Structure 1
């Protein structure tokens, strides 16, 4: 099974830029690269912050680019997104409880997308309603679970980012689900705009660069951006386990 993860698109309405970067152009290059080299993938997963401020014009750009994607996709939300706007456009992303959560079964296991958006907060949250849905999906999983969400549960040792990860009550509840069902093979997150790999209570966890702007590699309690290239992740899952590749895709603005 091959999965592609894209995260932190931070799209703005047409013509807008973030830190001098055109997020729409970066996403267009990302989609072009996936179509050219990974059209055989089983699924593309978008792990939130699809828009920078939840603007309808930003989601117009997202929908136009996703229409070009040659691979099926699923999406969930980050702290910059507008849940009502996204679910109005993508009703198939809804879990029946009003959240952007979904499940997909592939040849290498069950992919679950969890919605960690807590409106008005930067850190992530999983309420009782969301956890109940996730509990049912994990309980009925026929094999390993590959969990995708925006906010990582794992601390990176970078104070500014660790303060805004999945909040403590949600981490405790998610860990309880993981230990009860014993099905989570991997957790993949976004939010931090950094590539990292580690484990959280024995569960492998990865995070990924944004398709737009990147967070500086610093272990200080402040935020800073750096001009590192954008990336997506490729998960290659087989009988022996899984490999996760971080790919810095080529962009027209960096080649110019």
Structure 2
């Protein structure tokens, strides 16, 4: 199974800029690249912060851009989004019985579970007992199927002070409730931190990546501010097989020189042979 993971599109109103960048132009370029090179993907998942201010015009602009994507898409909300407006503009996205934007997809590779870690009035992540009960039920009913979790906020500190301050508030509770299911969770995908990070949490492999618009600069010492950067955006190509999960991070706007290494190597050795024959 092939998945596409991208995150933190931070859309604003059409024609507006954010931190000197155009979120729409960047996502449109990303969509064109996905359609051109990975139109065979089974699903694309955007892990939250779909908009920057949560306003209706931004969600409408996002919907218009996503209409060009030929791959099925699953949307997750983040702390910058307004859930009520999101549900109005994207009524087809499932919600749970409380209205949280949570759902599952059962696919050949296993069960994909999409979580809502938002709470109105805070940028920090929120996953209380009620939501944990929902997740517990979705995990229990999946039997022995492999599980892939998708969420906006990471359920653990990542070492970047600015982002850890607004990470998931119920980290210990979340970890404790997930303990019985950890052996079946094959991968955890999240957004929020605007950095390429991978590793393992309680034995579960995880990954996140740079955002679609602006980035958080890697600075472990800045305890007060939120260091930003214009590093290029990326999306991930996730290749899932029974025995492995392989993730490729693609800097689709990278404009550095591209060349065929074999051609360069052949030219180099040809030049060396010519020099030796002259000598």
- TM-score category of the 2 structures, normalised to the smaller one: over 0.9
Provide the alpha-carbon RMSD of the alignment.
Answer: 1.5
- Residue by residue, what CA displacement relative to the aligned partner does 1:209-234 show, whole Å, maximum 9, x if unpaired? 11000110111223111121001111
Q: Distance in 2 between matches of 1:132 and 1:38?
A: 36
What displacement does 1:23 show?
0.4
What displacement does 1:251 show?
7.4
| 1:245 counterpart = 2:248 | yes
What displacement does 1:176 show?
2.5
Unmatched 5+ stretches in structure 2: 256-279
| 1:58 counterpart = 2:58 | yes
Q: Distance in 1 between matches of 2:187 and 2:173?
A: 17
With 89-98 and 227-236 compared, the bigger mean Cα shift is at 89-98
With 139-148 and 79-88 compared, the bigger mean Cα shift is at 139-148
TM-score (norm 1): 0.93
Residue 26 of structure 2 corresponds to 26
Following TM superposition, the consecutive aligned residue runs of length 4 or more in structure 1 with deviations greater than 3 angstroms are none
* Counterpart contact for 2:60–2:89, Cα < 8 Å: no
Q: Distance in 2 between matches of 1:18 and 1:90?
A: 23
With 121-130 and 89-98 compared, the bigger mean Cα shift is at 89-98
Unmatched 5+ stretches in structure 1: none
What are the equivalent positions in structure 2 for 1:81-230 lying under 5 Å apart? Answer: 81-91=81-91, 92-142=93-143, 143-167=145-169, 170-182=170-182, 183-220=184-221, 221=223, 222-230=225-233
Q: Distance in 2 between matches of 1:246 and 1:180?
A: 31
* Counterpart contact for 2:116–2:151, Cα < 8 Å: yes
With 133-142 and 37-46 compared, the bigger mean Cα shift is at 133-142
Residue 46 of structure 2 corresponds to 46
TM-score (norm 2): 0.86
What displacement does 1:14 show?
1.0
Judged with a 3 Å threshold, the aligned counterparts in structure 2 of structure 1 residues 90 and 129 are, in CA distance, closer, same or farther, namely: farther
Q: Distance in 2 between matches of 1:74 and 1:177?
A: 25
Q: Secondary structure at the match of 2:171?
A: helix
- Residue by residue, what CA displacement relative to the aligned partner does 1:9-42 show, whole Å, maximum 9, x if unpaired? 0100011111110001111111111111111111
Q: Distance in 1 between matches of 2:38 and 2:156?
A: 29
With 220-229 and 106-115 compared, the bigger mean Cα shift is at 220-229
- Residue by residue, what CA displacement relative to the aligned partner does 1:65-86 show, whole Å, maximum 9, x if unpaired? 1211111111111110000011
What displacement does 1:5 show?
1.1
Residue 73 of structure 1 corresponds to 73
Higher Rg of the two aligned structures: 2
What displacement does 1:90 show?
2.3
Q: Distance in 2 between matches of 1:138 and 1:90?
A: 26
Q: Distance in 2 between matches of 1:33 and 1:141?
A: 34
Q: Distance in 2 between matches of 1:103 and 1:33?
A: 27
Structure ranking higher on relative contact order (CA contacts 8 Å, 6+ apart):
1
* Counterpart contact for 1:232–1:249, Cα < 8 Å: yes
Q: Distance in 2 between matches of 1:51 and 1:243?
A: 29
- Residue by residue, what CA displacement relative to the aligned partner does 1:107-137 show, whole Å, maximum 9, x if unpaired? 1111111000111111101122222221111
